[in-house]
Amino acid sequence: MPFILKRYPATIGKTIQILLLQDLGLKHGYSQRMLSRKRVFDANQIAYKNSDIVHDDHIYIAEFEGHTRGLKPLLTFKEFALFDKPSHLMIHPNSKNTKYSLLDEIRYHFGEKANQAHRIDAETSGLLLLGLQEKAVKALATMFENKEYKKSYLALVEGEIKEDIKINYRLRKEGKNIGVRMAICENDEEGKESLTYIKPIEYNKEKNITLVEAIPHTGRQHQIRVHLYAVGHRIVGDPIYGINDVTAEEYLDKTLSDEARLEATGASRLWLHANYLEFFYKKVLYKIYSKNKSIYNEFKS
């Protein structure tokens, strides 16, 4: 399990906030985060609240302790590293009961100060960049926030695409049953500007699918997925776009069976892969490609 209860000596009569800061030497932001997430407990394993007084000579903290399942970093540099993330692997645990996430591998290989600089969806495979120290994490995260990078994806899409496509539909939250679903806007006054370039690579006539390169020039939620669906080329295996609300809800609630998922979406995963990343770091230009060939294998099979 990634969260381990660790016991620490405590001074009775102090507030839990002061104890964490003074006695244990935790940073203010981290201690507040641990308290707000109910990960600090008394001797009876009842979670402390921010202003509670410590009433035992010890406390427990549920700390994340990474473990490995054999996934190794793709590349490691002095201040950052990259993983080639497989599909169906979330980056962070979404509860104390999450048995495994990419954060396990990050902390196992690089320690507690390492963290990811950006996010990709659990079902999206491919390149994920992380900083190995706090300064590097912040610098790389700022780089992504400021769009100071180039990134491209590979995707398997339904139907044949013969020529390059420029998709510049503005995007907004759909605001209906599926809370994470995005929608294109009907006029230029709504939503956020979004731009994606699609370049066809090869068409599989037997499967009626096209392998494409998708280059997002903005970074909106589900941008590539909703843009491709909007022009009639839904990504194979997409469990949110191009299917009915009931199936999408079952997928999000994790009650959709593997058989129903395959029948509804055409695949057991979303065939979207973060394939290329280009960026400057400390005046050095890095151009990095994924080594994961699963999308090519699926296209050819």
- Backbone φ, ψ for residue 151 (5° rounding): -145, 140
Task: Decide if 21 contacts 8 (C-beta within 8 A).
Answer: no
Burial string for 74-105 (b: 16+ CB within 10 Å, else e) reads beeeeebbbbbbebebbbebeeeeeebbbbbb
Task: Decide if 62 contacts 3 (C-beta within 8 A).
Answer: yes
* Both structure tokens of 26: 């935790």
Is 245 assigned a catalytic role?
A: no
DSSP characters for 197-229?
EEEEEEEETTTTEEEEEEEESS--TTHHHHHHH
Task: Decide if 301 contacts 293 (C-beta within 8 A).
Answer: no
Side chain identity at 224, as an amino acid letter? I
Catalytic residue among 121, 188, 253, 258: 121
With tokens 């659990």, the residue in question is 122
Query: Known catalytic residues?
Result: 121
